[in-house]
Amino acid sequence: MPQAPPGARRQWAADRAMRPPMRSPGRPEPSRAVQREFWRLIASGITSVQAAEGVGVSAPVGIRWFRHAGGMTPLSLDEPSGRYLSFAEREEIALLRAQDKGVREIARTIGRDPGTVSRELRRNAATRGGNPVYRAVVAQWKTQQAAKRPKTAKLVDNDRLREYVQDRLAGDVHRPDGTIVPGPATPPWKGLNKPRRQDRRWSTAWSPEQIARRLRLDFPDDESMRISHEAIYQSLFIEGRGALKRELVTCLRTGRALREPRVRSRNKPQGHVTADVVLSERPAEADDRAVPGHWEGDLIIGTGRSAIGTLVERSSRSTLLVHLPRLEGWGEKPYVKNGPSLGGYGAVAMNAALTESMTKLPEQLRKTLTWDRGKELSGHAQFAMESGTRVFFADPHSPWQRPTNENTNGLLRQYFPKGTDLSRWSAEDLEAVAHALNNRPRKVLGWRTPAEVFEEQLRSLQQPGVATTG
């Protein structure tokens, strides 16, 4: 390897003295070009192991990149401009330098200015052996280290903003009178996704987008109280942000520790519906959501045939939770085939609980109810007669025909996970969860809450001279 002339060594020493000390962490990490290609492959939908193989790094390295970044790309996927030397050009410089080529000849070969090559050889040479020796990998690593511009996260600097975000993401669930509902005791977070078929922490659980949008309504004149939902996600998912604790990902609806594609749940409807109550017979005014009083309903099921009824108003997105306690004799009497259901959501018990919930509403706000094809509402004719609410059933295997209810059931699974006993929660507990859900701002409502919209509907009904269509 040719030795650098004394003048070049003096110039290198002078340049090095002007720069802060740079401590090597060991073997240089792969170039940004390699990492960029890795995240492009991740974006195409393949696994981190396959993406690692695609860019020539080991599977553990690819997994570590993915997990440390929380499944979110930490760098821009756009190619850098031609203003800066690429890794390929640095490899060419290293090869030509090893052949004892001069700076101007190297510059002509790679099509760069001689000053660019000269500065590159001085600034980014490897010095581990005592003399500056140019190596492409080390030069690329030094360039990446020097190019870093660490920026303090907004949630770290702004205590008021951080408290606002954290309170609406991880705050306590309150009853309407303000008392705190602690919810179930949960095991400590181990850095994984939400526990399968176990209790989850009860929290206020606004989504990052709801928090970001609501800030504009709560602080219209305070520009310091602004943050994007993506910045909140980064504070949760990416290690080292320091603003929000990683375990707060359990307060997200999905409860995922990494950003991953959503897995769709399968709907399992059953058919027992007559032609007069199919969805096509539902009044057209229920479709555009302009007129209040049209509801969607379903059950969320727990262990031991426990269940909770869910009702969502299509216009305001207001939620009612129906308490379905187990009947007397549950667990004591032997099972009787075709006998009465003691689990709490047989046809008779379901009709009684639904009627009690719906009749608390004004008549103008209980026009129709769209249900899936579960047999728990096989007594819908009796329910319609007692409550004055017409019942319609969605088509088989068509959960999208009840979109608001399906979405709400997904939100409720944060409080009532699959595989847990739902009969232990009292009517007051269900009211507290519904209260928390109804006071979360919604994008579709212009970042107002369902409770605010529902209150407007009630006030409009109380005005004298308002015509009813019920």
**Residues shown for the chain:** 470
What pTM, to 2 d.p., does this model score? 0.56
Residue 440, pLDDT score:
94
Residue written as token pair 């181990």: 190
CB within 8 Å of 77: residues ≥ 6 apart: 36, 39, 40, 43
Region 132-147: mean pLDDT is 78
Rounded CA-CA distance 338/359 in Å is: 30
Residue 469, pLDDT score:
43
Give the burial string for 339-373 (b: 16+ CB within 10 Å, else e): eebbbbbbbebbbbbbbebbeebeebbbbbbbbbb
**Per-residue pLDDT tens digits for 5-58:** 666 666 656 666 566 665 555 555 677 778 888 888 888 877 888 889 998 888
Distance from first CA to last CA of the chain, Å, rounded? 92
**Per-residue pLDDT tens digits for 183-219:** 888 888 877 777 777 888 899 989 999 999 999 999 9
Where is pLDDT greater, at 276 or 253?
253
Where is pLDDT greater, at 1 or 364?
364
Task: Name the token pair of 124.
Answer: 């980014």
CB within 8 Å of 8: residues ≥ 6 apart: 122, 132
Q: In this structure, which amino acid lies at residue 333?
A: K
Q: Would the pLDDT of 333 be above 70?
A: no
pLDDT-above-90 percentage for the chain: 29
Rounded CA-CA distance 335/455 in Å is: 45
Residue 263, pLDDT score:
29
Average pLDDT, the chain: 82
Residue 85, pLDDT score:
82
- For 420, phi then psi, to 5°, come to -115, 160
- For 380, phi then psi, to 5°, come to -65, -30
